Amino acid sequence: ALALWTLTAGLAFAQAAPAATAATDAAATAPVPAGSRSPALLYQQHCAACHGAQRTGLMGPALLPESLERTRPAEVLRVIREGRQATQMGGFAEVLSDAESAALADWVRAPVQPAPRWGEDDIRASRSFTPAPPDEPARPLWNADPMNLFVVVEGGDHHVSLLDGDRFEVIARFASRYALHGGPKFTPDGRYVFFGSRDGWITKYDLWRLRVVAEVRAGLNMRNVAVSGDGRWVMAANYLPRTVALFDAELNLVKTYAAATLDGKASSRVSAVYDAAPRKSFVVALKDIPELWEISYDPQAAPIHDGLVHDYKMGEAIATPGYFGVRRTPLREPLDDFFFDQSYRHVLGATRPQGRAAAGAAPERASAQVVNLDARVKVADLPIAGMPHLGSGITFAWQGTTVLASPNLGGGAVDVIDMQTWKTVRTIPTPGPGFFMRSHEATPYAWTDSMMSPTARDTLTIIDKRTLQPVAQVREPGRTLAHIEFTRDGRYALASVWEDDGALVVYDAQTLREVKRLPMRKPVGKYNVWNKITRSEGTSH
C-alpha cells in the first residue's frame, strides 16, 4: 500500500478511528489524461489502507493540504514514484503511469470534500492508556542524573533519543509519532514528557520507565501542546479542526473549545498554546482572528465579567466562571507566535504576513506587539524588523535592565529589545537568517544559527551577552548546524548537524571546542529536563 510513513516498530500505537466515508473526487485539480485512472480511485486502491479513506492518516501520516503545506510538490511526486527510504512507503513508478502519479500528487494537495471531521467522540476513541504495573518502583531504569537528561527529537527517522547529559551517552532510543513539532513538554518532576505531532497525536512518555503511558489524537493537524505548571492539564492547539483541546494528565479529553469569535461568525486556526505557569493559565494565540485567549486552570480564578465569557461546561466542580473559561483580549492583528516577559504579565507577539487566511486581518509586513494580559490591551509596538521568531527568544540581564533577544526568520540579524521601554537596544548582524537562539544563566554567551541561509546554514554565531557583539563562530562546512541547548550547569552547548546522516555535537561552552559527537538522524531539537522544568531564561519553555 502507498504509505508516506515511517516504521514505528517498538511502540504500541493506538489507531485513529476516522469516519470511514470515502473521499470524493470533487477535490481533483488536475484534468485526468485520457486513458488514466482517476486519482480518487487510485487513492482508494493504493493509499487509503495506510493514509485513511479520508486522508486523515491511519498508520501512515495524514495527506491533507494542511499536512503537506511544508512539502514541495515535486517532493510529493518523488515520494509517490520512488517511495521513502527506511519506511514502509514503497515506490509506485511501476504501478502508476507518469500522468497518473502527477494527478495523484496534485489531488492529495487539494482539500478533502466534505471536510474531514474530528470531534470529541473521535478524540476519545483514539485514546490508549497503559497504566503502570502496580508494583512498579518509582525510579529510573537507568543510571544517570534524571535532571540532566536530554530528550533529542530525531526527525530523520521519527525517533527520540534520551541522552545522559553528564556522560553524553544515549540511554534509550524509541520510535515516535510521525513528524513531531514544537518542544516536548515535561511534568514538573521531570519524569513524564508529552510529545505533539503535526498529525495531531499527543504521546505521554515515562522517561524513567521508558514506555508510552498514554496517547490520544487531539486533532488532524496540530501546532503544539502545553502542559500546565502543576502537571495536571495538557492543552493542544489545532489548525484542523479549528479547536483547542483540553486533556487531563492521562490524556482523557476534558473538553474542546471552538476557536471562534464570541458570536461564532468567524473561526480560526490556532497558532500556538503556551503555559503561563505563574498565572496558572494557558495562553492561546489565534492565527485568523485578532484575539488572544487566556484560559485559567486556577480553581480560584477570578470570575470573567464584561460579557466575554465563552462556553465552559466542565460539570459541577467549577469553582468560578473564570476556571477554564476563555478570557479574550481583542487585538488589531492576529498572532502567529509569542513569548512572555519574566512576570508573565506581558505577551510579546509577532504577526507574519504570509499564509494568512482571513482577508483584511493581515498586515502588509510582519509586525510585533506587546499585550498586557491583566489590562487586556496592547501596550506597545515592538520595533522588530523582518520576521521575528519570538518563540525562540531568550531573555537576560543587560546594563541594569532585562533584554529580549530574538532571531529573525527574514534577515540575518538578532534583535535585542529592552523589556522596560520596549525599544531596540541593538540589532546584531549574523551571517544569515536563523531559527533558534539559546543561552544559559551560567554562560556569558548566547548562541544562534543561520539555518535559513543557503550560504551560512553551516554557521553558529556566538554573541557576548555583556557587549552584545558577535565574538565567535563555529562551523560545520556545507552542512546545516542549528538548535542549541545547554547542559543543566551551562558548561556544555549541544548543537545539531541537521542532516539525515547528522549528529549531535557537544561543545565546551567556554572554549567553544568540540568535545564529543554522536551520530543522529536529523536531530531537529534537544531539550534538557532541568532547564525546561526550571524555566531557565536561556531556553524555550
Whether the CB-CB separation of 117 and 489 falls below 8 Å is answered with: no
524 sits near ligand DHE (criterion: CB under 6 A): yes
CA separation for the pair 399, 491 (Å, rounded): 24
> How many angstroms separate the CA atoms of 509 and 403, rounded?
21
Site for ligand DHE in 257-276 (CB under 6 A): 272
Identify which of 523, 423, 407 has the alpha carbon closest to the alpha carbon of residue 162: 523
The count of C-alpha atoms lying within 13 angstroms of the C-alpha of 149, restricted to the half-sphere facing its C-beta, is 26
Residue 323, interface with ligand DHE (CB under 6 A)? no
- 433 makes contact with ligand DHE (CB under 6 A): no
Contact window for ligand DHE (CB under 6 A) among 36-44, 178-186, 309-317, 456-464: 178-186
Closest CA to 290 of 342, 359, 243: 359
Residue span binding ligand DHE (CB under 6 A) among the ranges 78-86, 112-120, 180-188, 361-369: 180-188
Beta strands 149-154; 221-227: pairing state: unpaired
- In angstroms, give the least distance from the CB of 136 to ligand DHE: 29
Judged by CB under 6 A, does residue 18 bind ligand DHE?
Answer: no
Window of 128-136, 181-189, 290-298, 419-427 that interacts with ligand DHE by CB under 6 A: 181-189
Q: Smallest distance, Å, CB 336 to ligand DHE?
A: 6
Give min distance, CB of 526 to ligand DHE, in A.
8
Angstrom CA distances, 400 to 74, 276, 377, 431, stand at 52, 25, 27, 29
**Shortest CB 234 distance to ligand DHE, Å:** 12
Q: For residues 435 and 492, which CB has a smaller minimum distance to ligand DHE in the complex?
A: 435
CB of 283 to ligand DHE, least distance (A): 12
How many Cα atoms are found within 13 Å in the side-chain-facing hemisphere of 309?
15
Site string for ligand DHE, 56-95 (x = CB under 6 A): --------------x-------------------------
> Using CA atoms, how far apart are residues 474 and 5, in angstroms rounded to an integer?
35
Which of residues 181, 191, 242, 269 is near ligand DHE by CB under 6 A? 181
* Binding to ligand DHE in span 373-402, by CB under 6 A: 391
- Do 144 and 128 touch, CB atoms closer than 8 A? no
Beta bridge partners of 381: 369
What nine digits make up the cell of 519? 551520530
Shortest separation between residue 541's beta carbon and ligand DHE, angstroms = 8
Q: Give yes or no for a contact between 411 and 450, defined as CB atoms under 8 angstroms apart.
A: no
From residue 27 to residue 56, the character string flagging contacts with ligand DHE as x (rule: CB under 6 A) and all else as - is: ------------------------------
Q: Nearest distance from residue 508's CB to ligand DHE, in Å?
A: 21
- Single residue of 6, 36, 126, 540 touching ligand DHE by CB under 6 A: 540
Contact with ligand DHE (CB under 6 A): which of 116, 183, 200, 412?
Answer: 183
From 83, 241, 349, 525, residue interacting with ligand DHE (rule: CB under 6 A): 525
Least CB distance to ligand DHE at residue 185 (A): 7
**C-alpha closest to that of 150 among 160, 142, 140, 162:** 162
Q: Which of residues 143-162 bind ligand DHE (CB under 6 A)?
A: 155
CA atoms within 13 A on the CB side of 122: 20
Using CB under 6 A as the binding rule, whether residue 224 contacts ligand DHE is answered as yes
- Cα atoms in the 13 Å half-sphere on the side-chain side of 363: 17
Distances (CA, A) of 144 to 124, 154, 163, 304, 466: 36, 21, 9, 46, 34
Binding site for ligand DHE (CB under 6 A): 70, 155, 181-183, 224, 272, 336-337, 391, 435, 483, 524-525, 540
